[in-house]
Amino acid sequence: MIYFDNSATTPVCPEAANTALRYMTEQFYNPAAAYSPAVSVERDVNAARARLASYLNAEQSELIFTSGGTESNNIALSGTLAMRRDKCRIITSAVEHPSVFEPFAALKAQGYDVVVVGVDKTGCVRMDELSAALTESTGYVSIMHVNNEVGAVNDINGIYHLVREKSPSAVFHCDGVQAYIKMPAVQCDMYSFSGHKLNAPKGIGGLYVRRGTRFKGGQTGGGQENNLRSGTTNVPSIMALDVSAKLWTDNRTERLENMTRVKNRLYSNLSRIKDIKLNGPEINDSVPYILNISFLGVRGEVLLHSLMDKGLLVSTGSACAARNRGKNRILTAMGITGDRQDGAIRFSFGAGNTEAEADAAAQMIEDSLSLLRRFRRR
């Protein structure tokens, strides 16, 4: 089996799994308890928090643990707006993850002044549109770091300075789920990330909140996370994330170089096939771990199932939007429609993928296309 869907989730690495098991069965104590074994676990969690925050050039106190990217994105927005009394302008882009885009849509129905800025043909935010949308009354801006479907990289530092210039009182949030640790740290007021994109378990993530940012927090209850996100601390997953993040940091250059080789090898192999189109940035301008290609004359879902039967796992877009039928919102915003949109497949690579897998995958795709294109609609 060849797994080329690492943007959806990644396998938990053995080191992280073993760490989680140890904190489930041996060091299982609740860090909120007063006895010494629990206090020791609390120290471990705080040390992990400090390390995970350091990858964002942040302080330990600026990192809140959450259940993942969706929760982080949601509470960043709701916790910021809860500190305001007005229904201010809030800005996002047309290609955001559903966990950002859908809450914005809901707030629009509640009377907020929602502005959705467009993107260029590569999937990057149009800076001129963003600049025009920013006003003194803007309260919140959310722009993703790396697009999860086409691998486009936004100029987050440039956007941060633009927001500071045009809307000094606005909070700038960045969805970093597809970028945390893999990409250099950026300037922002809030940054979301998720463990299961980094070979850690599902159900753990974080939200960086810059010191001084007005933020009410998320769910209430026992007062965990400095009373900003209550709920029993998920110690096993936090410690597993700490381990997997350190492995990523220690081996980042080697891993990204390997992913680049795999991506380029697959693209080179596929380029010999007739009627294919690259979606997103040029091959060397996107992140090393995401490749989106349209195979004209074949529906993506049909090709996906054919490849699955051959042992190749890929996707037609975001896993969080896969159950929603209809047009692909991200590709539509990029101006990709019709047969090109219908035939789009996303390949996303992980630390363990190889060039040999890229060769085998390309042959599987070529074999499937030679059969499926015979039955293309006329």
- Partners of 205 in beta bridges: 66, 194
Any idea which residue has 């059969």 for tokens? 371
Radius of gyration of the CA atoms of the chain, in A: 21
Active-site residue among 124, 174, 188, 320? 320
Report residue 195 as tokens: 């463990």
Burial class (CB within 10 angstroms; exposed 0-12, middle 13-18, buried 19+) of 257? exposed
Phi and psi at residue 205, to the nearest 5°: -160, -165
Helices (H), the chain: 14-25, 36-54, 69-81, 98-109, 127-133, 156-166, 224-227, 235-270, 300-310, 329-333, 338-342, 355-372
SS (H, E, C) 213-265: CCCCCCCCCCCHHHHCCCCCCCHHHHHHHHHHHHHHHHHHHHHHHHHHHHHHH
Residue 63: CB atoms within 10 Å = 24
Whether residue 13 lies in the annotated active site = no
Classify 223 in phi/psi space as left (phi over 0), alpha (psi -120 to 50) or beta: left
The set of catalytic residues is 320
